[in-house]
Amino acid sequence: MLNGIPLEHFLYISTALFCCGLFAVLTRRNAVMVLIGIELMINAAILNFVSFGAFDKIKNGGQMFAIFGIVLAAAGVAVALAIILNVYKHFKTIDPSAIDEMKG
Amino acid sequence: MEQFFDLIRASVANSLNSLWYILPEFILAAGFVLMIIADVFWGKRYKNIAPILALIVLAFTLVFVLDQFVLISESPKDLFSGMIKLDRLSAWFKLLFNFSSVIIVLFSFRDFQLRNNEKGWGEYYALLIAINLGMHFMAMSGNLLMIYLSVEFVSVCSYIMAAFLTGSQRSEESGMKYALFGAVASAVMLYGMSLLYGFTGTLDVFNDTFFVGLASAGILSATVAVLMTLAGLAFKVSMFPMHAWVPDVYEGAPTPVTAFLSVAPKAAGFALLLRFIASLSTEFSVLSLENGIAVLAIITMTLGNFAALWQTNIKRLMAYSAIGQSGFLLMGIAAYSLTGQASILFYLFAYAIANLGVFLVIGYFSNTFHSEEIDDYKGMGMKYPVASACMVVFLVSLVGIPPTAGFLSKFFIFSATAESYVLGGNIMLLIMLVAAVINTVVSLFYYFKIPQHLYLRKAKTEIVLDKGNLLFLVIIIVMALLTLFLGVFPNELMGMMQL
């Protein structure tokens, strides 16, 4: 129990978030939307870490991991957006399935 | 609150004592900052300052990595309260990373596309040093947090390197595919890690409570968590379900970057995989990863080797070959034993030398006639006799024919698998061995397509071509000699690698 809310509820929400993210990654035909899906998946994992971390008061591993996770997610997205911007300049589209110079 | 003071004091003392052992990483970090600053102030005036600085940083790192073999000669060290594990295995891996980084710095130094790139190349070399730092931590990490941080470190830097040629459509496309695929893989890995943390209550993968917690979690949920975590590592080593990015990225990225990606980050992924599997296979093993890894190894090598048969672009062919080689390495991991460990290390060294050699020859040819299609290699064996002869040596090593290092590395891995089949009696290992032998025969066909074009076909044109680059030629010859030397005298290296 965390402030009267059972742990399972946090896990339901994080599982739902993860599935939404995965759905967005698999179905969206826009690189930015795919990135948003990835962000949802990462946030689901962070929610998991924080809620499990409430039971690990001495080492606080979960809280620490959550902070690092947030920072790294931002770093990854920054790089991916820069690359997508460059792709848009050349291809005039950011649909990953439409960009296929290389095949085989 | 009082109770925490002792804990804090102990962990601060532990961290201070550990600092001395991560000297190579300090040098890499300082070198990275130094190179960025040097590029800002003097990058325009002295173009060669970045590669020269990179070589100096790598040389210092190499010296201190060698020094670590002495430091940890008695016992492996647990640093920063178990976050980092420094043992002989990680020191060997660090040696491999630095060796390949040195070769890549020299390779990029004369690469036509990188050299004539309009935005300069200062940050390219800085990123190379940063990736090296990340891989050092990958080889040493003993904690889920450290694994995630170092994998992301290496991935994010590799995305930028793959997309480095902003003028080239292919480089951009490969960078985008790499970044999107990698971000999904790492998100899945992060979710798996959060589940592992929930089941076990600890992030320390070598802690006993980690295994006990996992065993008590129930077989299904534990398997899901472990598989999700493995997805991120599978992405790094291009294992079967996460291999889809490899062909496009390897074809589109600048040739030195492809050479680097096919060797160093992959080796780092195998270092992590070795540790992760080792932490799960203790004596009270409930989860048998052996069979799972064996199946994935068979699929990976078959897929890579068969898809390579139809390729016309040499970088794409080498990408599928890299997937196939990953399959052979996974075989060593499935048959994990003490001989397995040494044979995996030897395989990685032999593979690194041969693969870097092949890419150097590709770079050498594309510098002279600007093509990466196998069709354009026709008749080049007579025009560039030394480079072509060395190419044949590297390919022979990749197939695994004596007297090259590749033959012995395949021999060691096969015999390690056979040995653990005899010891454990797992029929899956025998099937894997048979599949590996068939795959070796298949790989002969596509590897030998290249010498066939080089020597047995008539050249398309009779125009006189540029002479190749001398620096490349020297490195290529050295690598070829190394391949032959390790093939004839493997005992020295193998003896040192036994743990």
Residue range B428-466, pLDDT digits in tens:
889 999 999 999 999 999 999 999 999 888 877 767 677
- B445 and B381 together in one domain: yes
Question: What fold is seen in the domain A7-91?
Answer: Helix Hairpins (1.10.287)
- B249 and B142 together in one domain: yes
Query: Angle at the Cα of B132 (from B131 to B137), degrees rounded to 5?
Result: 95
Burial class (CB in 10 A: 0-12, 13-18, 19+), B34: middle
pLDDT score at B482: 93
Please provide residue B169's backbone torsions phi and psi, each rounded to the nearest 5 degrees: -60, -40
- B57 and B163 together in one domain: yes
- B307 and B183 together in one domain: no
- B262 and B321 together in one domain: no
Q: Is the pLDDT of residue B157 over 90?
A: yes
Which region among A62-76, A80-94, B85-99, B280-294 has the lowest average model confidence (pLDDT)? Answer: B280-294
- B227 and B295 together in one domain: no
Judge whether B1 lies within some domain: no
Q: Is the pLDDT of residue B286 over 60?
A: no
Judge whether B395 lies within some domain: yes
- B357 and B283 together in one domain: no
- Using a CB-CB cut-off of 8 Å, the residues of chain A touching B163 are 83, 86
Query: Is the ipTM of this structure higher than 0.90?
Result: yes
- Using a CB-CB cut-off of 8 Å, the residues of chain A touching B191 are 18, 41, 44-45, 48
- B191 and B312 together in one domain: no
CA distances from B52 to B56, B58, B122, B126 (A): 6, 10, 11, 11
For residue B358, give every residue at least 6 positions away whose Cβ sits within 8 Å of its Cβ, in sequence order, or none.
B318, B391, B394, B395, B398
Q: Using pLDDT thresholds of 50, 70 and 90, give the confidence band for residue B251.
A: very high
Question: Taking all residues of chain B, what is their mean pLDDT, rounded to a whole number?
Answer: 89
Region for A95 from its dihedrals, namely left if φ exceeds 0, alpha if ψ lies in -120 to 50, beta otherwise: beta
Name the closest residue on chain A to residue B192, using Cα atoms: A45
Q: Is omega for the bond preceding B265 within 30 degrees of 0, making it cis?
A: no
Judge whether B12 lies within some domain: no
Judge whether B412 lies within some domain: yes
Q: Looking at B244, B264, B287, which one is the last position of a domain? A: B287
Determine, for residues B173 and A55 on separate chains, whether the beta-carbon distance falls below 8 Å: no
Rounded distance between C-alpha atoms, residue B272 and residue A77, angstroms? 24
Chain B interface, best mutation among A32, A67, A72, by max B CB count within 10 A: A72
- Using a CB-CB cut-off of 8 Å, the residues of chain A touching B82 are none
pLDDT score at B163: 92
Q: Looking at B234, B259, B287, which one is the last position of a domain? A: B287
Q: Looking at B256, B287, B318, which one is the last position of a domain? A: B287
- Domain residues for the domain of B69 are 17-287
- B249 and B352 together in one domain: no
The total of structural domains in chain B comes to: 2
Judge whether B2 lies within some domain: no
Determine, for residues B170 and A55 on separate chains, whether the beta-carbon distance falls below 8 Å: no
Describe the crossing of helices B144-162 and B255-280 by its angle, rounded to 10 degrees: 170
Judge whether B9 lies within some domain: no
- B249 and B371 together in one domain: no
- Dig out the tokens for A15 from the structure: 């599982």
- Using a CB-CB cut-off of 8 Å, the residues of chain A touching B177 are 96
Q: Is the pLDDT of residue B124 over 90?
A: yes
- B60 and B162 together in one domain: yes
- B257 and B397 together in one domain: no
Tell me which residue in A45, A62, A83 faces B190 most closely, judged by beta carbons: A45
Chain B interface, best mutation among A14, A34, A36, A38, by max B CB count within 10 A: A38
